[in-house]
């Protein structure tokens, strides 16, 4: 499977402004199941682009702008190749099960602990109270707990498309009765951690009808670490496990760590007019 992903972010201002460094987490994470065949990044106004790898293994680009402008454009055009369908791997793994609660290998525990610590400790009591309504259908297996928790969030809360920047805290999402994909993913992240399971935030793209039409934006979900199985993705926005339709660009122990585009400008806040995002994900012939 080959996919063409075009991600365009445009900022507009009512006067020329100077831009500070920007951080981009746009390159899909490569591995045994995915390869980046080509990638081009177009930036306006003129800028210098430098690539590095962060502590989570994400490919991160730093943009240094060379001149002021009234408009800034960042466009990523990437072609990826899926080398092994995720769904087939998941089907094979279902033959094995992980006892509940999961016991992590001593060699992994130091790393795992950073993914068990709440990102929003002030909301811990609210999340624990909410989880009292969560019933584990098959408490013997960690896979079922993770799957049921993901479905529980999907059943209990509404998906709400939000244009505002940032992520709602778990308490805010529960109070509103729903949130965006990144808000629901953050709630799943904290809910899993409150049960003692290692979890991380994942950002990327979802191949869907809106993405085919170029009307989508980036997507977010959570990944849960299960001993012997590794990181497994769960998407509370659709109530399903992740499949080959999900393309990861960044993972982090906190939602802020994988914002697709982040940075600043110098000038009055009133200079900012709008931000426009368009994402297209389309299959491409071999």
Domain ranges of the chain: 2-82+260-283, 86-204+216-255
How far apart (Å, rounded) are the C-alpha atoms in residues 126 and 191? Answer: 10
Which residue in 126, 259, 280 sits closest to 182, CA to CA?
A: 259
Q: Residue 155: pLDDT band by 50, 70, 90 thresholds?
A: very high
Per-residue pLDDT, 211: 59
Per-residue pLDDT, 215: 61
Tokens (6 digits) for 190: 């904290």
CATH of 86-204+216-255, one of 3.40.309.10, 3.30.43.10, 1.20.1080.10, 3.10.620.30: 3.10.620.30
Instruction: Over range 219-227, report the average pLDDT.
Output: 96
The DSSP secondary structure of 221-261, one letter per residue, reads EEEEEETTTEEEEEETTTTEE--TTEEEEEEESSGGGG-SE
Helix, strand, coil percentages in the chain from 3-state DSSP, rounded to 5: 25, 40, 35
Q: Please report, rounded to a whole number, the percentage of residues in the chain having pLDDT higher than 90.
A: 79
Instruction: Over range 68-86, report the average pLDDT.
Output: 89
CATH of 2-82+260-283, one of 3.40.50.170, 2.40.50.140, 1.25.40.10, 2.60.40.2250: 2.60.40.2250
- The three-state secondary structure class of 100 is coil
DSSP state of 137: S
Per-residue pLDDT, 217: 86
Q: What is the mean pLDDT of the chain?
A: 91
How far apart (Å, rounded) are the C-alpha atoms in residues 159 and 163? Answer: 13
Per-residue pLDDT, 138: 56
Rg over CA atoms, the chain: 20
Q: Residue 286: pLDDT band by 50, 70, 90 thresholds?
A: confident
How far apart (Å, rounded) are the C-alpha atoms in residues 205 and 282? Answer: 11
- What does each C-alpha distance from 26 to 59, 82, 121, 249 come to in angstroms? 8, 17, 29, 6
Per-residue pLDDT, 93: 52
Instruction: Over range 260-274, report the average pLDDT.
Output: 95
Residue 137 pLDDT > 70: no
Residue 99 pLDDT > 80: yes
Instruction: Over range 164-177, report the average pLDDT.
Output: 94
Per-residue pLDDT, 96: 63
Per-residue pLDDT, 213: 55
Residue 3 pLDDT > 90: yes
Number of Cβ within a 10 Å radius of residue 38: 9
Residues 191, 232, 219, CA angle at the centre, nearest 5°? Answer: 75
pTM above 0.85, yes or no: yes
Q: Residue 266: pLDDT band by 50, 70, 90 thresholds?
A: very high
Instruction: Over range 31-40, report the average pLDDT.
Output: 95
Same fold, 2-82+260-283 and 86-204+216-255: no
Q: Are 153 and 236 in contact (CB under 8 A)?
A: yes
Residue 147 pLDDT > 90: yes
């Amino acid at each position: 499977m080959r996919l063409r992903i075009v991600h365009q972010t445009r900022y507009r201002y009512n006067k020329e402004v100077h831009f500070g460094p920007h951080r981009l987490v746009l390159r899909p994470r490569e591995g045994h199941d995915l390869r980046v065949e080509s990638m081009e990044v177009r930036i306006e106004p003129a800028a210098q682009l430098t690539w590095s790898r962060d502590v989570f293994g994400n490919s991160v680009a730093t943009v240094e702008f060379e001149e002021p402008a009234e408009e800034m454009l960042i466009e990523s055009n990437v072609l990826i190749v899926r080398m092994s369908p995720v769904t087939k791997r998941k089907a094979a793994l279902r033959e094995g099960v992980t006892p509940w609660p999961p016991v992590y290998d001593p060699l992994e525990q130091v790393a795992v602990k950073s993914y068990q610590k709440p990102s929003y400790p002030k909301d811990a009591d609210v999340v624990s109270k909410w989880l009292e309504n969560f019933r584990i259908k098959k408490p013997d297996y960690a896979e079922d707990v993770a799957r049921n928790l993901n479905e529980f969030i999907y059943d209990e809360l509404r998906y709400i498309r939000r244009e505002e920047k940032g992520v709602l805290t778990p308490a805010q999402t529960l109070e509103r009765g729903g949130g965006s994909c990144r808000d629901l993913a953050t709630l799943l992240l904290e809910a899993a951690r409150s049960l003692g399971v290692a979890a991380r935030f994942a950002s990327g793209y979802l191949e869907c009808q809106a993405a085919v039409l170029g009307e989508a934006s980036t997507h977010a979900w959570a990944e849960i670490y299960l001993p012997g199985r590794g990181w497994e993705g769960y998407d509370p926005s659709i109530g399903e496990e992740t499949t080959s339709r999900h393309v990861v660009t960044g993972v982090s122990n906190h939602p802020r760590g994988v914002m697709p585009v982040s940075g600043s400008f110098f000038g009055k806040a009133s200079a900012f007019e709008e931000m426009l995002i368009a994402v297209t994900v389309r299959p491409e012939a071999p």
